[in-house]
Amino acid sequence: MDDSTVTRLCAELCTKARFPGEPKREPMRAWSLSAVERLHFPDSSTAIFKFAAEPFTGEDRALKLAAVHGVPVPELYASAVIGGILGMLMQDLGEPVREAADDDGVKAAVVLHRVRPSEILPTTLDADELRALPLRALAHLDYLRQVRRWKSTLDIAEMLSALDKAAPARAQGAELAPFGLCHSEFHPSSLHVGRTGWRLLDFARAFNGPGLLDLASWPGTQQPANVQRVRRLIEAYVAVGGSQEALAPRGGLSAEAWALGWHRVWIVEWFMDQTVHWINDPTSDPAYIKAVRRHLREAVRLLAP
């Protein structure tokens, strides 16, 4: 991202939000397409400055949508897009008092999933869109092979083809409750537990879709898919006020197997889309191929045994 554009964004947002003086910028986290900084102002006040390039330039809209519907999120002081980069100036929540636990996650998910589908979000992941994911990933793979990247990936093509055949039946039930605002990166690290309660962060990839994907996302993807743990999360979710329909089978599978399987397919298509369009860095291909293979094996095991 262009440093001068980011600097201009920071200055304009601080002026718009009427913060006093020029801040000292403290880098906190940085990724390839986004970064977070803490701003320190002359009067000792602080704020969080987050900036991101495409495809993450709609996070402020998702954050506003969540706030309007009563989801606890950081206060958004100001936002703007300049030169294709989104900048957001937000409340500084400070350091969390502890890491979010499973019971925090299910309670937050219940509140989040009360937000019904909205046209504010650009993507709706319904049954038709789920069915399209394997074929879309195959198209990404075809391109990557045509440009002489992603070589020796016949096994990936075979797994995606198997998922494509299974998709029409397995996608059924996508619109069962909970269906609405999906966080999409619903992990303990995205749930800030502070002295005054919890706040949900990182709505950069939010969409309309099956809330079960958030519960499948919560345990992360570094360990093998744990069907039993996701079942416990869904049961706890229902017990604290989530829709009873969350436990209903869909696509001929248990709710937990369905959620984990489609979550892995969704991750795979996203990784491959990034590889083609947003990252487009051949040096990162080995890491992406390894991750895609691992997630596809799980998806096939769950959705197309």
In angstroms, rounded to a whole number, what is the distance separating the alpha carbons of residues 299 and 280?
25
- Helix, strand, or coil (residue 287): helix
CATH numbers and ranges of domains, the chain: 3-90 (3.30.200.20), 102-303 (3.90.1200.10)
pLDDT-based confidence at 29, cuts 50/70/90? very high
- Mean pLDDT, range 142-156, rounded to an integer: 96
- Mean pLDDT, range 135-146, rounded to an integer: 97
Residue 74: asked if its preceding bond is cis (omega within 30°), the reply is no
Q: Which two tokens stand for residue 121?
A: 């979000």
pLDDT of 257 higher than 90: yes
pLDDT-based confidence at 184, cuts 50/70/90? very high
Using alpha carbons only, what angle is made at residue 195 by residues 21 and 10, rounded to the nearest 5 degrees? 25
C-alpha torsion sign, points 290, 293, 295, 298: negative
Residue 224: asked if its preceding bond is cis (omega within 30°), the reply is no
For residue 280, what pLDDT is reported?
Answer: 81
